[in-house]
Amino acid sequence: MKNLKTFQAKTMAEAIDQVKRRLGRDAVIMHTRTVTRGGVLGFGGQPLVEVTAAAGDMTSVPARQNSGVTDQRKLLAEFGELRAAVQGLVQDARLRRVPNLPEELLEAYTSLIQTDVAEDIAVQLVDRIRGDLDPSRLADPQVVRRHLAAYVESMLPVAGPILLTHRAAPAVIALIGPTGVGKTTTIAKLAANFSLREGKKVGIITIDTYRIAAVEQMRTYARIINVPLEVVMSPSQLRGTIDTMKDRDVILLDTAGRSHSDQIKLNELKCYLDEAKPHEVHLVLSATTSRGVLSEAVERFGVVGVDRVIFTKLDEAVGFGAILSCLTQANARLSYLTDGQEVPDDIEVGHSRRVAELIVSGKRV
């Protein structure tokens, strides 16, 4: 598409302000993401918001481009009308599944669906509000929102941080998950926090020998953090390698990304975990992934054993409802959230109230 321009700023508000000033208030946001400029492998880098937008008002385009612009404007208009029609049909179908929904709860239900909460959970939430609030309180949007946030919070199972106290042997913590969700960076964040901020003795073992330069990336992180790294090539080698790190407080196991549809690779991963016998297995998932794909990943990775979930890339997500749906399906608790590439800063313990606010507001707060 022509007339696309990219803007970078420290915050989303600043980036949107640039878009409006350069392209006008009718500009169309095509894509957003968070990038890091400067630093070494995420250390000391500057996180920036990047927004790609197109001019919505085509009247200022030179005459020689009028023909192409007219066609483009027509296509955009037709696409907008089609999208609106489809969204209307989908919403009508969903509302028919919630008979006698009060007008006061329509916005709450719609917002839950738009943020990717599963429909059965959304129905459960609005039914609970309808049963607990009298008509006068239902008429107050702020009251409805507070109750909705409280109900969502009560449904979010959280695990708290990884605890290393009162252990006679090293805590073995494995991170597993699909490709491209940020496992290696998350390992580096955890290692840096344990080592540099808590003064713990950390060891890292990686079995990610498939991805190009994966070992070197982790080796660089380990050297900067000043923690030992071991590379393991087979399940039979893993147990012995763990035994060589008995002086550590925690051993972080970095695994290769696995497609949830590749059963052979998932079986191989299970062989590694059977040898490692980790105290905790954290499934790492990206908050940018659709609920349907997350659901399939949870189902497939569940066969190897999962008791914690980490959600990454909150800074790139457009909705957070899938977190609730995913945790409910996985029967696992939330451990951490990450929202950028900066090591060791862009990671936080997952708190139910924080996530509930993300889901109910539909945006980062």
Q: Could you tell me the pLDDT band of residue 275, with boundaries at 50, 70 and 90?
A: very high
For the chain, domain boundaries: 4-57, 99-155, 171-350+357-361
Q: Which CATH class is domain 171-350+357-361?
A: alpha beta
pLDDT of residue 365: 53
Decide: helix, strand or coil at residue 180.
coil
Task: Give the chain's end-to-end CA distance (angstroms, integer).
Answer: 32
CB atoms closer than 10 angstroms to residue 35: 14
Q: Could you give phi then psi for residue 310, rounded to 5 degrees? A: -115, 130
Each residue of 332-360: pLDDT tens digit? 899 999 988 888 888 999 999 999 999 98
Nearest Cα to Cα of residue 145 among 108, 180, 119, 120: 108
Lowest mean pLDDT among 175-179, 262-266, 355-359: 262-266
Each residue of 62-88: pLDDT tens digit? 544 455 555 555 666 655 555 555 445
